[in-house]
Amino acid sequence: MTGKPLTIGLDLGKLTLNRKPFAFTDQAAIVKRFRGLFEEGYQYDFLMFSSSVDFPEEYGVDDMSPREIEEFVQECIKEALSFRYDDGGRKEAGFKGHTGDCVTRSIAIASQIPYKEVYDALALGMKEAGKKRSARNGILKKVYKRYLEKELGWAWVPTMKFGEGCRVHLKADELPSGRLVVRLTKHLTAMINGVVHDTYEPSRGGTRCVYGYWHKEE
């Protein structure tokens, strides 16, 4: 194992992380804590249970056996590992400040093309479309669609048809493996082998609908 080991256990009725008690109020809180530890370089080691006691009510889980708690914690780990903070190389490229650059970011991440190169190409596309030469805040759909499909050779796969409702969500088990640029409502994000790469977690707990995705055809 590389990185720092993270041992998760049950000790005297409390959840422990590397043998230190960790209080939580709901699943979102523990997922957030796990995600922070993973980003610090910790890697999940194993679950260790010292007794068969239940969580006390103050910890948000009542009358759960060790096996049920293990399944609960495993689900939290799975959710925590489903997202990774990634700005696509924006900061490294010298860009500063807050921006609505999801199109540039997601394409740079999924395609592994330098952020500045993607930014410049999309900015030029905006200029050719009669808009300001910038990719900082919002890109016309026809501009990024042409860039992905015509210039990069990526293929669009729709997952929602008019009148059918939501059928695919932003979840690893509902999308294929590989490097994807995923289209959501007013947002694009990158997914790599089931892990969302973005500057915030956009899945809404796995309930956010996916309109479709682009992928590089072999």
CA 113, 117, 123 angle in degrees (round to 5)? 130
The SS3 call for residue 147 is helix
Q: What is the number of alpha carbons within 13 Å of residue 62 lying toward its C-beta?
A: 2
- Cα 180 from Cα 189, distance rounded (Å): 8
Residue 161's nearest CA partner among 211, 206, 203, 209 is 211
Residue 75's pLDDT is 79
Q: Is residue 179's pLDDT more than 60?
A: yes
pLDDT tens for each residue of 17-67 = 776 777 666 777 778 888 888 788 777 655 554 443 344 444 445 556 667
Number of Cβ atoms within 10 Å of the Cβ of 130: 7
Out of 13-17, 66-70, 162-166, 199-203, pick the least confident. Answer: 13-17
**pLDDT score recorded for residue 10:** 56
User: What are the tens digits of pLDDT across the range 78-109?
Assistant: 777 789 999 999 999 999 888 889 999 999 99
Strand pairing class (195-198; 83-85): parallel
Mean pLDDT of all residues in 201-218:
90
Say how many CA atoms lie within 13 Å of 204 toward its Cβ.
8
Token pair in block for residue 102? 């999801």
Dihedral sign computed on CA atoms, order 39, 42, 44, 49? negative
Specify the pLDDT at position 55: 43
The whole-model pTM stands at 0.76
| 182: enclosing H helix or E strand | strand 179-184
pLDDT digits (tens, 9 = 90+) for 110-158: 999 999 999 999 999 999 999 999 888 889 999 999 999 999 999 999 9
The pLDDT of residue 56 is 43
Q: What CA–CA distances, in Å, run from 101 to 34, 169, 199?
A: 27, 22, 10
